[in-house]
Amino acid sequence: MSYDYIKDGAEIYRQSFATIAAEADLDKVPEGLRAVAVRMIHASGQVDLLDDLAWSEGLAPAATTALQQGAPILCDSRMVASGIIRSRLPRDNHILCLLGDPRLYDLAARLGTTKTAAAVELWRPHLAGAVVAIGNAPTALFHLLEIVEEDPELAPAAVLGIPVGFIGAAESKRALADNTLGLDYLVVHGRRGGSAVTVAAVNALCGTDGRTG
C-alpha cells in the first residue's frame, strides 16, 4: 500500500509553522515570548495551548539573562534534561537532574514525599539564580515553592512550571502563578504540560533557533 504524504523535512517544517501562524492568535503573547509560545504549540500540536499559557511580565528577560550569565538549568526529569540542546546553550550552562541520586530513597521517606520532590530538596546548593524546568511532577513544583518560601535567598531567576497530570498539576501551576515570592514564571494552566512542551520553552529561551514560523 502506498500513502500520499509529505516526505521533505524542510517542507514539513515550513508548513507546520505556517499552520501555527495561521491558526494561533499570537497577538495574545508579548513579542518577547512569541517564539517560546510558538515552540510550545509546535511541541504539543495544540494551537489552543495559548488559552492556558500564563507568565509573569519579567519571565523572558529574567530567564534569558540568567542563561546568558551561565545559570544552571534544574530539571525535574531526565526527559526534560535530555531534550535540552546542549550545543546551543549560551554559556555551556550546567543541566542538572538528580533523579539518579542514591540519597533520594531515604530522603523521600524522611520527607514523606515523592522522589522527584526529594530531588528538589537536593537542588538547594544550585537553586539561587537558576532556571528551573519542571515538566512532569507537581510535587516538585509544590516543594520548590515551599523551599523558596522558607528561604527567599534561594529564589531561582525563573521557573518554567509546566507539570502534566490529573492530580496536583493544575493546583501546583496555579500556586506558582499566584505566588507572592516574586518568582518569575511560565505555566500552562490546567492538566496539560509535560516534558516536550517544557523542553520547547527552555530551548526557545536559549535561542536554539531564531525561526518562529
Tell me the catalytic residues.
42
Q: Residue 113's CB: how many other CB atoms inside 10 A?
A: 19
Alpha carbon distance 137, 83 (integer Å): 17
Look at strands 185-188 and 53-55 and give their pairing.
antiparallel
Confirm if 95 and 86 have CB atoms less than 8 A apart. Answer: yes
- Beta-bridge partners for 55: 186
Beta-carbon contacts of 174 under 8 Å, excluding residues fewer than 6 positions away, are 189
Alpha carbon distance 94, 10 (integer Å): 31
Alpha carbon distance 8, 213 (integer Å): 17
Name the DSSP letter for residue 208. S
Alpha carbon distance 11, 24 (integer Å): 20
**Cell numbers found for residue 69:** 550569565
Residue type, 61: P
| Helices and strands of the chain, counted as H and E runs | 10, 6
